[in-house]
Each structure stands twice: as C-alpha cells, then as structure tokens.
Amino acid sequence: MSQLISLVIPAYNVGKRIEVTLMSIAAQEYKNIEIIVVDDASSDDTCSVAEHTLARFGCNFKIIKHDTNMGVSAARNTGFDVASGCYVIFFDADDMADPDFVSALFEAVTKNDSDAAFCGYRLRFEDTGKEQAVPVALNPSLKYSAEELTVMYILGQIKLAHMAAIFKTSFLKAIELKFTVGSWFGEDAEFVKKAFSRCGSIGFSIGCHYIYIQHENMASVSTKQNKDKSLLRNENNAEAICRSARYLAEFAESPKVRRLAMDYVLAEGLMKSLNVMVRRRDKEQFLRLLNAPGTRWALLAVLKHVLKNSRLFVNAVALLVAPRLYFGIKLKLWG
C-alpha cells in the first residue's frame, strides 16, 4: 500500500485562484494524499472555495483557519503540525502541478530512502500563457551526495523551489525544523538550505513537474511596485540568508558546508543587509554594521571564492577598500 503524503497549502485571499490549484492536486496520479489548507485569516471567500472544491472531488482534506493573519511561514507550520503523512510537500495556493508531480517526487525520495527530494519546475506567465522550464541541472545517471547537492544549491549551481520538494515527515520532526515565523520573504530558501544541510541523502527527478504561475498579484511582483514593501523584501531576504548561515555553521552534517556557511553564505547575507541600509540612506547604520565584529572577517573570507561568484568578490573588495565610495555609488544607482 502506498504511503500517505501530506500537501500543506497556506492560503490568504486567493479565492479567485485556489480552485484551479486544488483541481490540479485532485487530479494527481498518486492518490494517497492528504490536503491541508491553512486559511491565514483571509478576508475573501478563500476558505469556502477551498472546502467546496475539495468536497466536490472527494479529497481527503483538512481546512484550518487562523483567527489573525500570521504570515505564510506560520501557516505552513500550522499545517505541518497536523500533517499525518509519512512525507510532506509545501504547495503554494496560486500554483499548479502536472498529474505526475506527487508520484515523481515520491519515487525520487523513496528510491534510496532519502530524507528529501526535489524536481524541476516551469514558470507559466499568466498574461501570455507561455512557459519557461527551470530543469534540474544534474545527470540522472550519477549519484550525488547530500553534501554535493547542498553545496551546489548554496552556490546557485542548481535551482529549485521549495514547492517542488518533498520531505520525510519524521526527518523534519527529528531535527525540529520549522519555517521562520515573521519572515515574509526568503523564508523558503532558508528552510531548504537548513533541511538539506541535515539530510543523509537527497533524491531528485529531472522532470519539470511543478507549475509556478507568474501573475501580477504575486508577492514578488507586487512588492517591486511599492518602495516600502520592496525594502521589506530585501531586508527579509538578507536576514533569512544570515540566519541560514549561522544555522548551517552550527548544525550542518558536512564540515565543508559548515565552512561555506561562514565564508560565503554569511557574507552574502551581510552584503544584502548593507545594501538595504544604502537604500534607506542610513550611512550611520551602514558603517556600524560594516565595522561590527565579524563583518569584515566574513567579507575577507569570501575573497577566496572569486571563481564561484565574481559579483560577490567585487562587492566585498569595494566594501573593504572604499566603503564610503561604495555607499555613494550604490545610492546614485538606486536613487
């Protein structure tokens, strides 16, 4: 008998979109699934649409309502807390998936009894209907260690989305990993880095089975149109990277990943934090962080990775050699 897989779906004001999302889940070839929708205090008909759709298709589902809007991280954590499946997938409420999405991930994660697995995805642009594949850039005939895959993900050599990944429930509970509540952006990549760094093995499917819908109301688009939200997004991303660096340095199974956390990931997060301060025109805070214990060490350490990320290298040199000039140039570029 197939093992139960829980799909956790945080939902907030997606009444016009969630029906199509849930229909794509109901159409999965893998049938032993549990659908958990966490309505994060929506002010529209998200909850009723979800309940009606899932009941109409005879799905095994739970709907949980938050009394107040707590954010996507809290919603995912709420769903995970009540998940009954042996495996869990964190699906987004405005996306879709091919019918073989769950079955492909299940095959990938159970092939070598891995703690996690992932697949490729496709960007579907709602305004044009066109798609862009983001495949898994790995050789399916080769076996990759969890360390290799974690390093490649950190360095941006493989691209993956948290929605196109599956995790063993017992693994996440054993390491007590949750999404960071209060973080609205960057929390997904933070979660994946933390999880991968603790995995014994990681599987993958080269197929692009997840459909990531690109539309005008998605957070990554709407925040660009609002200066304050854009700053919040950049700030959250910087904080998430710094948190993941410190987590990896302490808990990663691999010594190589632990080293990379402190002489690459941390520098990336600190640079993003410094750039946020430039955007805020806060030179005093910029210089205070730059001169804080550990910041210059992190920037010096990243210099060894010039071949891995030349942009990071150039910015680190500029910050170390001419920080005030760096501040002025960036300020002019960003207005």
Residues 90-107 pLDDT 10s: 999 999 999 999 999 999
Cα distances (angstroms) measured from residue 102 to each of 32, 41, 56, 88, 153:
10, 28, 21, 10, 22
Residues 166 and 241 in one domain: no
Q: pLDDT band for position 293 (50/70/90)?
A: confident
Residues 26 and 139 in one domain: yes
How many residues does the structure list for the chain?
Answer: 335
Q: pLDDT band for position 2 (50/70/90)?
A: confident
Spatial CB neighbours of 307, under 8 Å, sequence gap ≥ 6: none
Taking the mean position of all CA atoms in its chain, how far away is CA 152? Answer: 15
Q: What is the number of alpha carbons within 13 Å of residue 37 lying toward its C-beta?
A: 29
Residues 236 and 214 in one domain: no
Is the confidence at residue 278, as pLDDT, over 90?
yes
Residues 216 and 231 in one domain: no
Is the confidence at residue 335, as pLDDT, over 80?
no
Is the confidence at residue 1, as pLDDT, over 60?
no
- CA-based nearest residue to 242, from 172, 179, 209, 193: 193
**Token output for 322:** 């001419």
Residues 117 and 264 in one domain: no
Q: SS3 for the chain, per residue?
A: CCCCEEEEEEECCCCCCHHHHHHHHHCCCCCCEEEEEEECCCCCCHHHHHHHHHHHCCCCEEEEECCCCCCHHHHHHHHHHCCCCCEEEECCCCCEECCCHHHHHHHHHHCCCCCEEEEEEEEEECCCCCEEEECCCCCCCCCCCHHHHHHHHHCCCCCCCHHHEEEEHHHHHHCCCCCCCCCCCCHHHHHHHHHHHHCCCEEEEEEEEEEEEECCCCHHHHHHHCHHHHHHHHHHHHHHHHHHHHHHHHHCCCHHHHHHHHHHHHHHHHHHHHHHHHHCCCHHHHHHHHCCCCHHHHHHHHHHHCCCCHHHHHHHHHHHHCHHHHHHHHHHHHC
**Token output for 220:** 């990554």
Residues 154 and 14 in one domain: yes
Residues 38 and 18 in one domain: yes
Torsion region of 65: left, alpha or beta (phi above 0 gives left; psi -120 to 50 gives alpha): beta
Q: What range does the domain containing 277 cover?
A: 226-334
Query: Could you report the per-residue pLDDT of 192-230, keeping only the tens digit for each?
Result: 999 999 999 999 999 999 999 998 776 655 566 678 888
Is the confidence at residue 241, as pLDDT, over 80?
yes
Domain boundary among 221, 255, 274: 221
What rounded mean pLDDT belongs to the chain? Answer: 94
Taking the mean position of all CA atoms in its chain, how far away is CA 298? Answer: 24
**Token output for 304:** 């060894």
Domain count, the chain: 2
Residues 110 and 216 in one domain: yes
Residues 238 and 214 in one domain: no
Residues in a beta bridge with 133:
122
CATH number at residue 163: 3.90.550.10
Query: Could you report the per-residue pLDDT of 45-89, keeping only the tens digit for each?
Result: 999 999 999 999 999 999 999 999 999 999 999 999 999 999 999
Spatial CB neighbours of 219, under 8 Å, sequence gap ≥ 6: 184, 185, 233
Query: What per-residue string of b and e applies to 174-209 under the rule 16 or more CB within 10 Å gives b?
Result: eeebbbbeebbbbbbbbbbbbbbbbbebbbbbebbb
Residues 197 and 248 in one domain: no
Query: Could you report the per-residue pLDDT of 242-260, keeping only the tens digit for each?
Result: 999 999 999 999 999 999 9
Residues 205 and 256 in one domain: no
Cα–Cα distance for residue pair 153/94, rounded to 1 Å: 25
Q: What's the rounded mean pLDDT across residues 122-144?
A: 92
Domain boundary among 165, 196, 221: 221
Domain boundary among 172, 193, 221: 221
Cα distances (angstroms) measured from residue 23 to each of 45, 57, 131, 201:
17, 8, 20, 32
Residues 157 and 59 in one domain: yes
Is the confidence at residue 154, as pLDDT, over 90?
yes
Is the confidence at residue 138, as pLDDT, over 60?
yes
- Per-residue DSSP letter, 2: P
